[in-house]
Every structure is written in structure tokens, then in C-alpha cells.
Structure 1
Amino acid sequence: MNISIKRLQNDIEKYARYGKEPNSGITRPSFSEADFEVRDLFIDELKQLGLEVKVDGASNIWGLMKGNGQKKGTIVIGSHLDTVPNGGKYDGALGVLVAKEIIRTLKDHNIILNHELEIVSFTAEEPNDFNLSTMGSRSFTGKLLPEHLMDVTDSKGTRLTDCFKKAGGGLDHFPEMVQAHKDKKAFIELHIEQGKRLEQQNISVASVNKIVGIYRDQVTVIGEANHAGTTMMEHRFDALTAAAEMVLVAEKIAREDVKDTVCTIGKFNVFPNAANIIPGRVEFILEVRGETEEDIQRLAANIKEEWKKIKKARKVNVKERNILNQKPVHLDMDIVASIEKAAQEHDVPIVRLASMAGHDASHMADISKTAMIFVKSINGKSHCPEEYSTPDDIEIAGNVMLQAILNVDEQLD
């Protein structure tokens, strides 16, 4: 029993049309017009498969395939359908579409599992204009509560609560998500690797036993806006030049760090952002990732210590607000073993990797036995239109996941 790679490839291309840019990239952030359209498509297709479909409080979409009743609880598979701006067609969507193809394959062969099988598409996994990444999985697992979200707006003033309702969710349904925790026995998320490790080893698939921690601060540098022509250089308190120096010193410190810990400053807002005005305020996001919390906090602290010197020398004010402090996550070794056993049963080489990117699996690991499967990424490309995994690699990984689900179904009590 194998998945249909032709059917899956058709799905990948179909879903890639939603939010497609002229240069072939995809822009489909959660609660955008393209996102609402793809949600409708996904829900319709789940209903056509005969699944029981539900949208929870955080607008996560769930589809349930009934089991034979011999074992209680559900095995959950899926990922997310939102994208970064001008992203690719595989990040997130591949995990959802492989999960859907696995369900179709089981139905094609009239196979009913001992457990119920659920597919999920989580809301807003990617960073977004609400500054709440992995929003859906964090909400579902109780890390984001209604009181955290009721006053959240995007840069245009759109209320998050209104978006939840438009997508079929709502804060009043959050208590129901807490009740649903006890049913989730296992979660397996398939995802592209987004790096070069599998390609360097010429291996199609990996089991993932660990996900790095992610720390993000929203940083505001406050200087003094003034006329660009009449203010002499010695009289300036330029927020942008101060911020630029802060970015460069952060990069320098990260490059000198002895561990595989990384730092990125990838989002900048300049105010008032006019050619003839000295920037009076700059906002940016500092991100640090590492395999241990100690590594992350050490690098962040070293960066901020140097920032104090820049603040003093340039006579600007610096405010920092933490918006994400996601701890490193160790995934379930029983599920990892089931994935690796599935690869052996298909005579497929497999390696074990840590994920250097955050995923919804990071949060699902708090409530269920969780692991991930990686698919080889060509040239390590991701979050860009050039993102690509070959049909052969996808087919191998999809069949390994299908067998892993059968293994988990037998092994879980």
C-alpha cells in the first residue's frame, strides 16, 4: 500500500495557486483573502472524504476519520497552510497535503485504524502581522489564552478576534480546545527540512527528535526626528543609524559564538520613513535560536550588553519587549522509533536530525506523544519561491509516514 504521488502532486499545484505572486512565489498569511479561500477549499475536500470537520476556537481546521473503536483517542497528522510573504509551495502545505493523501490512501484500501485518525491545519504557524507565530497550536495547547488575544490587532488595526470569527472560530470556543487535549494520543508532522543536511547525505527522509528553542524580542529604538537638511551631524540622535549599529554588533557576537546558535534581525520599521526627515524611531525584531535554553539566553544577553554601549554613545533610548520565548523541545522517542522502523520496513535510508526551525509540533509535544518527519530540501531553500522537494523524495517520505501511522496505531495502548 503506497500513496499516489501523482494525486499528491496535483494537490500541491492546486493549493499553490492561492496567494500566488507574479514571480511564482506564494503570499498566503493567515486571515488574508487567499487564506480564507484555501480554508474553504480544504474544508470542502475533507467533507468530500467523509471526514467529520470542525473549526476550533483558534480557527484550526480538524478532520476526523473514525476508527474501529478498539482503542481510544486519536492519532493526529498535519501541519499548516499559511505561508511567509513570497514563500514557497511546500513549507507547511506539504505536511497537510501528505496527511490528506494518507487518509485517501487508507480509504482507497478500506483500512480502518484501531484509533481515530485526525488531520489538522493549524492557524498562523508563520510569523505574521499580529506578531503571534504558531498561534493556532499555541492556542490549542493552552499557551495563548483569551486574555492574551482579545485586544490584539495587526498594523492596520484589524482585530484578531474578528478574524477568528470570520474563519469559524472565536474566543468563546477556547475552553473546548482544553477539553480536546485528552483525546490526542500522538501527533506526527511531516515537513520539508529547510536545510542542506539531508541533501549533503543524499538521503530523502529524516526522523526528528528535537526542535530548537526560539526567542524573539520586539525592540524599539527611540531617537529624535528632525529636519534632514538643517540639523548638523553633531546635533543628530538618529534612531536608524543606532539600530544599524545594533544589528551589526548582534551579527558579530553571533558569528563569534562557539555553539550552533544563530541570531537574525529580519524585520524593520522606520518612522516617519521619509527622505528628508532624520528617523526618530525604529522598530525591529531580534530572534535567537539554539538547541539549549542556556545557549539562547547567553547569546541574547551578550548582544544586549553591547547594545547598552551603543545606546549610551548615540544618546538614544532602547525598549525591549519579549514576544516569543519558545523553549527547546525533545520529541517522543517511541514515535521516533516507529518512524525509523517504518523506513526500515520500506528499505529506505533514514537519519535522525534536530530541527533548526520551530514548528507546531513544538507545542503539540506538551499534550501528546509527538515527532516529526523531514523531507529533503533541494539546495536547502525555504521561505522563498525556489523552495523545492522532488516528487521521488516526497513519495518516499509519504510512504514512510503512512507506515509509521500503522505502526503507531498498533503500538499505542
Structure 2
Amino acid sequence: MIENYSININIDRLMEEIEYYAQYGQVPNEGITRPSFSEEDYKVRNIFINQLEQMGLDIKIDAISNIWATLPSKNKNASTIVIGSHLDTVPNGGKFDGALGVLVAKEIVQTLQENNVSLNHHLEIVSFTAEEPNDFNISTMGSRALTEKLSYCQLVNATDSKGNQLSDVVKKAGGNLDNLSEIKRNDIAAYIELHIEQGKRLENQNISIGIVDRIVGIYRDQVQVIGEANHSGTTMMGDRADALVAASELVLAVERITSQFGTDAVATIGKLDLYPNAANIIPGKVEFILEIRSASKQEREIIKTKIHDEFKRIQKERKVAILTENILDQQECTFNQEIVGLLQNAAESLNIPHTTFASMAGHDATHLADITKAAMIFVKSIGGKSHCPEELSLPSDIEKAANTMLHAVLLADAKLDRLK
């Protein structure tokens, strides 16, 4: 048992911060659009850095433009506990996904400073770059670069749909891909990330928080359906190679195949682009992203194979070409049981009911688990809504989750190895 269980975060201050950050990228009735490397993202980065400077923290922007801020231990040779998440959003997203974890991390550090708590470990806040899918087609970019899952060549050659070089936008955010070889960390004793659940399991159980002990695997393909563009009035139905009609059949096939498994596995086509996208032209090309999620690698492989086999059948029948390129094959992740246990102990010590389960969504913690002891804590999502303007977590639930995380950090500080 440790002392300082009377310490609590300032929920009013935290909620004010959430509303303040939500201004950037917000469109009335359309949620928040703040993708990485957008002008709104650059604004939020600068605001965040200025706030961290005012707190007197040591700040570093690494090669991929992840933002780090350190509350130093008196022991210069101490290892580091890291807490945080990401500040970027999906298009038309909500105010809590990602930003809540970063702002809770900042609030925890402020609370420790105000209560003059001295830690045995350095405590670092991190805001990871480009956690969400983006125009460069490299999601969890910051955490994957940190854990050396993305090569220099992959990153330096990446461009977005407008032809912008990733190296240029990273440099504008304060990073430098030429320094990628220096990004590796070997001093992190633990990583804890707070996030909204993005589902209804906590709400269905009427519980505020969930301790996350694992994350499902995620597989994504970039798919091109290439038909033949032609005049919509003069090309008879039997003479067409309509890429959109073929793509529509593909979408239905993905739903049908995955539903047959009757498990928690899911497959989605959530991004689709049509060319030339004109009323009087038969679509000549469709591009989309296929995503499959499951806690079982074997199940993902079976679903993928069945879907690809169906793609081949549709390609032949519809007289189109279907090209697939894998852009993500993220394996399922089991979190560290010691950190999971510390989160559970913190909740129990605060008399906060909780449950333990897997995350169906990917997070930066997935990759941090490869280099340190990691785990997550989820906050109840009202209606299970996320990646939409209706995303909502209540202050009472957020307060319980943030205090649980605060006391888990104190437990970790007391129990984990203190030296690099």
C-alpha cells in the first residue's frame, strides 16, 4: 500500500481543457476534424507545447514529431513512466477520442506538482503523431516509428493524396526524419494510456471504467477495382465494366462472409473513393480500404482468405481488375499483467467498480507493449458512440478513470524498477 490516496485530479479544470481543445477543427453539428499535419493540428500542437512549458516541464519533439514532456525525478538515472495518447482526430470525430488521454496525463502531472509529490521515476507525458488513419495511409505512425516498425524508407517516401511529402509536414511539426535512427527508447519502465471505450460494454454493465488487458489484431488492405470508364448514355448494360457495381458486390461479400463466423470478429469497408465521379460517366475505378479485426490471428487469416477468394470470383464475373496491397497487419497484443494488476489495485483502493476486457480498437499502447510494460484504462462511452460528433463520456466517469490512473502511476512508481 502507498500513501497519497487522498490526492485527486481537478475534474472541473480537466473538463474545461477538453472543451478548449475541442474548438480546434470543430464545425457546428459536424464534429471535429483535426487530422495530423492539418493546420488545426499544428495549432493544437503549439498550444499543448506552450502549456507544458508553463508547467515547467522538459519538452522534446522527436524525429517523427511525437511530443514528450518530462516531470523529472530527483534521481537523474531513474527510468521513466510514460502516460498519454494522441491529439489528432478522424474526420467529423468527437472531442474525447485521443485528446482525453493526453489531457488526463497533463492533469495528473499538474495534480502531482500542486501536491508537491516527488517521484522515484521520471514521469513523461506523450502525444503521439498520427494515431488515426490519415492521408498518408500510415496510422499509429508515431508509436510505430518509436518502436522501429516503420523504416526510414517507408516514411521518407510517403506522400499524401495532394503530393505532399511526409518529411516536409513532419519537419513543420518540429520533427526530422533524418534523425529517425535516434528515436529508440530503452528507458521506459511502463506505459499507461487512458482512452474512451468506443463501445457499449461498460454502459451495458453500468460501470464507469474498464481495465484493458489485451488488444485485437487489425488487418488492412488498400484495394483498387479497375473497370472501364465510358459514356453512361451510349454504353449498353451488357457492354459495361462498371467498377462501382463490382465494388458494391465486394462490400456486400465482406459483410456476408464475416457475419457467418458468429464471433466478435468484424470487417469493414469504411473509406471509398470513386473515379471519375461524374453523373454521366460509368465509374472506371474505385479505391477502398478493407479492414478486419479479431483477437485470433487464425480467424483473421481465414476471414481474409475467404474475402480474397470472393474478390477473385467477382473480378472474373464483372470483368474488372481487383488489386490489393496490404497496408497494415497489426498482431493482437497482450498487455503486461503487472501493470494490469496495478490498475486493478488502484481502482479497488478507490472503491471504484471495474471490469477487465479486450480492446476491439487499436491504440498506440499496442506498439509500446513491444518495448515496455504497458496497459490501458477505458472510460464509459455513452451509447457506445465514437468517431462521430455524438461521442460522449460523462465527467463523473472521467473523474473515476483519471483518479484510477493517477493512483496506478503512484503504485507503479513505488513498485517498478527505478533504474534505467
TM-score, normalising length: structure 1: 0.98
Post-superposition Cα deviations, 1:211-268, rounded to whole Å, max 9, x if no partner, equal: 0111000000111111111111110011110010011011011111132110000111
Residue number in structure 2 paired with 1:313: 317
**3-state DSSP of counterpart to 1:343:** helix
1:233 partnered with 2:233 = no
1:77 partnered with 2:83 = yes
Residue number in structure 2 paired with 1:131: 137
Question: Out of 33, 38, 48, which is 1:42 matched to?
Answer: 48
Task: Name the amino acid aligned to 2:234.
Answer: T
Determine the C-alpha separation between the residues in 2 that align with 1:118 and 1:227.
59
Question: Out of 58, 63, 77, which is 1:57 matched to?
Answer: 63
Matches within 5 A, 1:148-187: 148-178=154-184, 181-187=185-191
Question: Out of 115, 118, 143, which is 2:149 matched to?
Answer: 143
CA deviation after TM superposition for structure 1 residue 184, in Å: 1.0
Contact 1:264/1:287, CA 8 A, preserved across alignment: yes
Determine the C-alpha separation between the residues in 1 that align with 2:110 and 2:355.
28
Residue number in structure 2 paired with 1:99: 105
CA deviation after TM superposition for structure 1 residue 376, in Å: 0.5
**3-state DSSP of counterpart to 2:139:** coil
In structure 2, relative to structure 1, the CA distance for the partners of 1:313 and 1:148 (3 Å cut) is: same
Matches within 5 A, 1:10-409: 10-23=16-29, 25-69=31-75, 72-178=78-184, 181-409=185-413
**3-state DSSP of counterpart to 1:54:** strand
Task: Name the amino acid aligned to 1:317.
Answer: A
CA deviation after TM superposition for structure 1 residue 187, in Å: 0.2
Task: Name the amino acid aligned to 2:107.
Answer: E
Task: Name the amino acid aligned to 2:179.
Answer: H
Task: Name the amino acid aligned to 2:111.
Answer: T
Task: Name the amino acid aligned to 1:367.
Answer: I
Post-superposition Cα deviations, 1:251-310, rounded to whole Å, max 9, x if no partner, equal: 011111132110000111111111111111111000000001111111111111111111
**3-state DSSP of counterpart to 2:288:** strand
Determine the C-alpha separation between the residues in 2 that align with 1:208 and 1:340.
10
CA deviation after TM superposition for structure 1 residue 69, in Å: 1.1
**3-state DSSP of counterpart to 2:186:** helix
Task: Name the amino acid aligned to 1:233.
Answer: M
CA deviation after TM superposition for structure 1 residue 22, in Å: 1.8
**3-state DSSP of counterpart to 1:182:** coil
Determine the C-alpha separation between the residues in 2 that align with 1:390 and 1:121.
23
Determine the C-alpha separation between the residues in 1 that align with 2:48 and 2:298.
41
Moved over 6 A (4+): none
CA deviation after TM superposition for structure 1 residue 185, in Å: 1.1
Task: Name the amino acid aligned to 1:362.
Answer: T
Determine the C-alpha separation between the residues in 2 that align with 1:385 and 1:230.
43
Post-superposition Cα deviations, 1:340-371, rounded to whole Å, max 9, x if no partner, equal: 00001101111001000000000000101000
Determine the C-alpha separation between the residues in 1 that align with 2:311 and 2:159.
29
CA deviation after TM superposition for structure 1 residue 84, in Å: 0.3
Determine the C-alpha separation between the residues in 2 that align with 1:206 and 1:398.
12
Determine the C-alpha separation between the residues in 1 that align with 2:76 and 2:347.
26
Task: Name the amino acid aligned to 1:153.
Answer: T
CA deviation after TM superposition for structure 1 residue 68, in Å: 2.5
Task: Work out the percentage of aligned pairs sharing the same amino acid.
Answer: 59
Task: Name the amino acid aligned to 2:178.
Answer: D
CA deviation after TM superposition for structure 1 residue 71, in Å: 6.6
Determine the C-alpha separation between the residues in 2 that align with 1:308 and 1:46.
53
User: Number of residues paired by the alignment?
Assistant: 411
Contact 1:210/1:329, CA 8 A, preserved across alignment: yes
Report the RMSD for the aligned CA atoms in angstroms: 0.9
**3-state DSSP of counterpart to 2:256:** helix
CA deviation after TM superposition for structure 1 residue 24, in Å: 5.3
Task: Name the amino acid aligned to 1:321.
Answer: E
CA deviation after TM superposition for structure 1 residue 146, in Å: 1.0
